[in-house]
Amino acid sequence: MDAPGLEWLLVPVRQLVSWGAAGAMVFGGVVPYIPQYRDIRRTQNAEGFSTYVCLVLLVANILRILFWFGRRFESPLLWQSIIMIITMLLMLKLCTEVRVSNELNIKRRSFAAADSKDEEIKAPPKRSYLDFDLNYFWHWSKFTDYVQCVLTFTGVTGYITYLWLGSSLFVETLGFLAVFTEAMLGVPQLYRNYQNRSTEGMSVKMVLMWTSGDTFKTVYFILNQAPFQFSICGLLQVFVDIAILLQVYLYSYYPQKPVSHTAHPTSTKAL
């Protein structure tokens, strides 16, 4: 086969590989949460999954979308953020419904001011626009409260971004905050393992999925010359994943002390 004929064959192959990589980039990040979602729905138990994971990923991906308006990076990265936001909202909806159904006589907690007509509240509460009690932040009783919080955050940050869109320093800082927030997702799990001197209850398969996904994502960033914030924070995220895998090895073969916490095999990167 001559060179022109070989080139004719390689062009569609390269295109297919490019489409496959883009598809993996868009949907690969949500794959680890599919078995988690199914397990929570099957067992009606969401204790092993921290909804603060959803909070971190929602913040990170909303900021990334806003960053796109200041610096138009590749569209697969934009669609990845959109898909991840939808996935985290679905996880929040399921976890909230499961948690509320398993709790008895709970007091209505909301993001916005409580409605005096709420049957669960016997006495009229002190009126306040937002419930900023840190003990109940992101631990509300209805999914709509989470949606209100996300929309409020999006509106405020979107307005600030609109005002400062002409500042390259602001835009680059926004991009860094977006990917750095996501990169730090595994740090609380790393710290929790260190405190417990154990990785009991943590799914090693999940960690391997995170590591492979984060590695692929970082290589994609580098090869496609994504903004430097993406590559740097992607490498940081891979290092955190590797550190967690090292903990799995160390605490499995060299246990340091008995563990008293309750194990949840569905636990994920938790906060």
Per-residue pLDDT tens digits of the chain, which is 271 residues long: 455 556 666 667 777 777 777 787 788 888 888 888 888 899 888 876 778 889 999 999 999 999 999 988 888 889 999 999 999 999 999 999 998 888 765 556 666 655 444 444 444 444 444 445 666 788 888 899 999 999 999 999 999 999 999 999 999 999 999 989 988 888 877 887 888 888 776 667 777 887 888 888 888 888 877 788 888 888 998 998 899 889 888 888 777 655 444 444 444 554 4
Rounded distance between C-alpha atoms, residue 96 and residue 101, angstroms? 8
Rounded distance between C-alpha atoms, residue 166 and residue 214, angstroms? 31
Nearest C-alpha neighbor of 69 from the set 163, 182, 179: 163
What does the buried/exposed string (b/e) look like for 191-221 if buried means 16 or more CB atoms within 10 Å of the residue's CB? ebbeebbbbbbbbeebbebbbebbbbbbebb
103-to-31, 97, 262 alpha-carbon distances in Å: 29, 10, 19
Rounded distance between C-alpha atoms, residue 188 and residue 171, angstroms? 27
Rounded distance between C-alpha atoms, residue 215 and residue 238, angstroms? 6
111-to-107, 132, 135, 144, 260 alpha-carbon distances in Å: 13, 8, 12, 9, 34
Please, which residues have CB within 8 angstroms of residue 82's CB and are 6 or more apart in sequence?
A: 61, 65
